[in-house]
Structure 1
Amino acid sequence: MRITLVQGDITKQRVDAVVNAANPSLLGGGGVDGAIHRRGGPAILAECRRLRATHYPDGLPVGRAVATTAGELPARWVIHTAGPVHSTREDRSALLASCYREALRVAGELGAATVALPAVSAGIYGWPVDDAARIAVTTVRAAGAELETAVETAVETALEEVRFVLFTADVHAAFARALKDAGG
C-alpha cells in the first residue's frame, strides 16, 4: 500500500472511497463534511438518515467509521468517521488514530483499492496540524504494514493507495514533514 499526498479538494478525487471527517450526527456540518454532503447530493444524506434511524440513533461514536454511497461524487463510497475535538486536558490521540484505522478497515471490507483521506479533526475540531499529521501518517503506515503481513498470510486485500487530500498548503506541508519523519 502506498501513501500519497495531494493538495486539493477531496470531493474531486477519483478514488473508490472518500473518507469524510464527519459530524457525529451524520447529518452534515461544516468543513470537509459540509463539502462532501453538498457535492455528493441528497443520496448521501438519505443513507446517513437511515443509519441514524437504525444503527446509530445517538450518532456515530467518535473514532468509528461507517460507509454510505458517494452519491454524485467521483467515488463509489463515502466512509464517514467521527473525529475527536482536540482537548488540552485529555489525551484523545487514540480516538484520532482509531478514525484512520476504522476508515481503512471499512475500506478493506468494501474492497476499495484507492482511498482519499482528509486531515481528520485538524480543522474546526482544533487539533494542532503537526500533531494531527503525525498521528494520521503513523497510523496509516502501521495499518499498511498490517495489511502487508495479512497478504503474506493469504488474507486478500485490495487496498493499493491511501491518498491524503489536504486542502491548504500549510496542512500539506505538515503531512509531508510527518511522512518524511516516518521514513516514507
Structure 2
Amino acid sequence: MVSWQIGNNVLEIVQGDITEQDTDAIVNAANSRLAPGGGVCGAIHRAAGPKLAMACAQIGGCPTGEVRVTEGFNLKAKYVFHAVGPVYRGAPEDAELLASCYRESLKKAVEMGLASISFPAISTGIFGYPIREAAEVALNCIAEFLRTCSAGLKVRMVLFSKPDFEVHREVLHHLMSGREG
C-alpha cells in the first residue's frame, strides 16, 4: 500500500479486490445500461448478489461521465457508485469524461457524508483506456479534489493486478514529488 496525506484527507493505492474493500462505498466501472458485465463490473455484481442488477435496472441507465448510486447489498461497502467511463478513442474529451467519473463520485461521497470510497481503474478494461494515461487522469483528479475538500475523506485506488498497481504507484510518486500535500 502507498498512502499520501492531502490536508485532512488520505489517498491510498492498494493491490487487491475491490469487492473486499471495507470502505463506505465502492465504485463500479459500469456500462451505460448499468447491466452486469465482465471485469470489475461483473465481479461487483457477483459479489453483491442479484438485488444489485435489479436496483440498476430500476435506475435504467447512466450517461458517460456520470454516476448513479445503489445499495451495496451483499458487499462490505454500504453503497455502490456506478461510474460510466469513456470507451477510449484517443480524443481530448476522453480524459475529461474519465475525470468526471472520479470527480462526480467524490462530490457524491462528500454530499452523502461518507468517510471513505474505493475506486478501480475506470475504463482500463474492455473500454481500452491505456493504464498509465488513466492513472494520470485519476490520480490528478483525486488529488485536486482532495486539496479543496475539508471532509476528512479516505480515497482508495484498488488495483487488481501487480502491474497496474505499480503503474499507479509510479504516477502517484511523480505527483507527490512534484507537489506538497
| Residue-pair matches, total | 169
Distance 2:99 2:91 in 1: 18
Distance 2:89 2:128 in 1: 8
Question: How many Å apart are 1:46 and its aligned residue?
Answer: 1.6
Correspondence for 2:137? 135
Question: Is the Cα contact below 8 Å between 1:26 and 1:49 reproduced in 2?
Answer: yes
Select 1:165's aligned residue among 158, 162, 176: 158
**TM-score of the superposed pair, with normalisation by structure 2:** 0.90
Correspondence for 2:41? 33
Structure 1 residue runs of 4 or more that deviate by more than 2 Å after TM superposition:
88-91
Q: What's the Cα RMSD here? A: 1.2
Query: Any idea what SS the aligned residue of 1:20 has?
Result: strand
Correspondence for 1:79? 81
Distance 1:44 1:111 in 2: 22
Question: How many Å apart are 1:160 and its aligned residue?
Answer: 2.2
**TM-score of the superposed pair, with normalisation by structure 1:** 0.88
Structure 1 residues without counterparts, runs of 5 or longer: 53-58, 149-156
Correspondence for 1:182? 175
Structure 2 residues without counterparts, runs of 5 or longer: 1-8
Question: How many Å apart are 1:90 and its aligned residue?
Answer: 5.2
Query: Any idea what SS the aligned residue of 1:115 has?
Result: strand
Question: How many Å apart are 1:91 and its aligned residue?
Answer: 4.0
Deviations 1:73-103 (A, max 9, x none): 0010000000001113554110000000011
Distance 2:11 2:91 in 1: 32
Distance 1:112 1:41 in 2: 23
Question: Matches of residues 88-107 of structure 1 in structure 2 within 5 Å?
Answer: 88-89=90-91, 91-107=93-109
Question: Is the Cα contact below 8 Å between 1:66 and 1:106 reproduced in 2?
Answer: no
Distance 2:153 2:72 in 1: 20
Query: Any idea what SS the aligned residue of 1:173 has?
Result: helix
Distance 2:92 2:135 in 1: 19
Question: Amino acid of the residue matched to residue 19 of structure 1?
Answer: V
